[in-house]
Structure 1
Amino acid sequence: MCEYEPGAAAALPGGIGVSLLTVYDTEAPNGLVGGTPHVHLACSEGYYVIAGSGAVQALTPKGFTETPLQPGTVVWFDPGTIHRLINSGGLKILTLMSNSGLPEAGDAVLTLPPEHLIDRETYLEATTLTGEVEARTQSAIARRDLALEGFAVLRNSLEAHGPSALDDFYAAAVQIVQPQLANWRKRWEQGARRLADETGAALDALDAGTAPHLQTAELHQLPAPTELGRHGMCGRLDVYDITS
């Protein structure tokens, strides 16, 4: 993963990240069409449904849920929510990710069977996509299907044993992401934290009857997506570069 060096780059409101997601339309062994179940360790994520229909399945310590998705639906979830998208047809989503898009910068662990979660090296061996475009598509689908095996076990165990059923998976996920934490902290400090501090300074100024920050106002615009159709966890992503 590349180091995050945003410098003086303008951040999106709230320090979020955005991408356009076209959910996988390939059927899984369980007969459902959709993406790869995974969890985020530090960040929240939101969906605004642009087109199509489907659902998002979620596992939390409170249990299993399935929430319908249709154009105009807005849903979001906290870190620790294991989630999977179901595509009933043409599902396309604008994803909103906290901390400058950290969920697409490594803050995700797939629900692989336990033997693939014993350490970071083993996990990466099972999840890194290989080959050219067509081969990478097949690799992404194979990765999804492997994660669905673990997701089914977690769901059944959660229903049988309650919140403790997720403990081992959470612990393994924490171990896997730890080498990335220094880079994540940079992204947070230069994005969401910096903008929150700037808002505090603006409120202090307004309280004092001044507004120096208004003198530096300008309109910002992201360029066209820097990458089209990247193989993500849930589908193909049009990616916007918010670090330059």
Structure 2
Amino acid sequence: MSPDPVPGAAGPFPGGTAVTQLAVYDWSSPDGLRGGSAHVHLACTEGYVVLGGHGRLQTLGPDGYRETSLTPMTVAWFSPGVIHRLINDGDLRILVVMQNGGLPEAGDAVLTFPPEQLTDPATYRRTASLADPARVYATDRDAASHRKNLAVQGFLRLRERVAEQGPGALDEFYRAAGALVADQLEAWRELWSAGAMAAATRTGEQLDALAQGDLRHLRAGGLTVVDPPEERRYGMCGRLTVYEA
């Protein structure tokens, strides 16, 4: 009879993160640039590995406005509070690595809509949804394009305020974003506890086991392979190939 394995020896993607392939939108925006929606993450760090093409990353944060060139093999990441927007200067494709897999999909990402769209959760979620019942779109692409342009409009206004007043001008947006997600924090904590926190705890258990000469988790190791889906989704920044681990 084989020994019992250490609980959780095989789990989700490493560290409780999530990976997605992103083909950045090449749709025109209100300022004439082509790219995705501007948004911010409230509890998750986001990382980019550029797979191909070229473009730029526009950011607004505590250090003001920055623009970073993106070329093949560029690796960049940014922490919560950094508002970001991807510009596609030619076939920009990225592997996105998200901290706290599941939280961005649960609402951790807040779009930079104009202030009138950030007044309450119901208004924001209706505007952010591709199935907004208040408007009729011919296609999901039309809905995603409208959502993107609203976010870019808000981003451009925020950028102007930061240029005039400094990074403190972002505080009003941060407060609005925090209020929009207040009713979701308990559910987020459950997702984090079952994902990233559980992964870190599992590593601690394995280190303890190794210190005691207990190798059961090595004998219980396994391989997980997730095939990419055939259909790509309309995301905030582009067409997404989402790996459901």
Provide the TM-score with structure 1 as the length reference. 0.90
Q: Which residue of 1 aligns with 2:139?
A: 135
**Residue-by-residue CA offset, 1:13-35 (whole Å, 9 max, x unaligned):** 11111111111011112110000
Alpha-carbon distance between aligned partners in 1 of 2:9 and 2:180, rounded to the nearest angstrom: 31
Q: RMSD of aligned C-alpha atoms?
A: 2.0
Alpha-carbon distance between aligned partners in 2 of 1:89 and 1:143, rounded to the nearest angstrom: 22
Amino acid across the alignment from 1:45:
E
Q: CA deviation at 1:93?
A: 0.7
Amino acid across the alignment from 1:228:
E
User: Do the aligned partners of residues 15 and 136 (structure 1) sit closer, same or farther apart at CA in structure 2, a change above 3 Å counting?
Assistant: same
The within-5 A match list for 1:33-182 is: 33-130=34-131, 135-182=139-186
Task: Report if aligned partners of 2:9, 2:202 keep a CA contact under 8 Å in 1.
Answer: no
Alpha-carbon distance between aligned partners in 1 of 2:219 and 2:138, rounded to the nearest angstrom: 51
Provide the TM-score with structure 2 as the length reference. 0.90
Alpha-carbon distance between aligned partners in 2 of 1:188 and 1:133, rounded to the nearest angstrom: 35
Q: Which residue of 2 aligns with 1:11?
A: 12
Alpha-carbon distance between aligned partners in 1 of 2:129 and 2:37, rounded to the nearest angstrom: 13
Alpha-carbon distance between aligned partners in 1 of 2:238 and 2:72, rounded to the nearest angstrom: 17
Alpha-carbon distance between aligned partners in 2 of 1:13 and 1:239, rounded to the nearest angstrom: 16
Amino acid across the alignment from 1:150:
G
The number of aligned residues is: 235
Amino acid across the alignment from 1:83:
H
**Residue-by-residue CA offset, 1:32-63 (whole Å, 9 max, x unaligned):** 00000000111111111111100110000210
> 103-112 or 17-26, which moves further after superposition?
103-112
Q: CA deviation at 1:127?
A: 1.5
Alpha-carbon distance between aligned partners in 1 of 2:202 and 2:73, rounded to the nearest angstrom: 31
Query: Helix, strand or coil: the match of 1:99?
Result: coil
List alignment gaps of at least 5 residues for structure 1. 1-6
User: Pick from 218, 233, 236: which aligns with 1:230?
Assistant: 233
Choose between structure 1 and 2: higher helix proportion: 1
Alpha-carbon distance between aligned partners in 2 of 1:159 and 1:148, rounded to the nearest angstrom: 16
Task: Report if aligned partners of 1:45, 1:103 keep a CA contact under 8 Å in 2.
Answer: no
List alignment gaps of at least 5 residues for structure 2. 1-7
Q: CA deviation at 1:130?
A: 2.6
Task: Report if aligned partners of 2:36, 2:238 keep a CA contact under 8 Å in 1.
Answer: yes
Query: Helix, strand or coil: the match of 1:100?
Result: coil
2:213 corresponds to 1:240: no
**Residue-by-residue CA offset, 1:113-165 (whole Å, 9 max, x unaligned):** 11110110111122111389962111111111111111111111112112220
Alpha-carbon distance between aligned partners in 2 of 1:164 and 1:56, rounded to the nearest angstrom: 21
The higher radius of gyration belongs to: 2
Task: Report if aligned partners of 1:20, 1:238 keep a CA contact under 8 Å in 2.
Answer: yes
> 7-16 or 191-200, which moves further after superposition?
7-16
Query: Helix, strand or coil: the match of 2:139?
Result: helix
Q: Which residue of 2 aligns with 1:3?
A: none
Task: Report if aligned partners of 1:55, 1:86 keep a CA contact under 8 Å in 2.
Answer: yes
2:190 corresponds to 1:186: yes
> 185-194 or 131-140, which moves further after superposition?
131-140
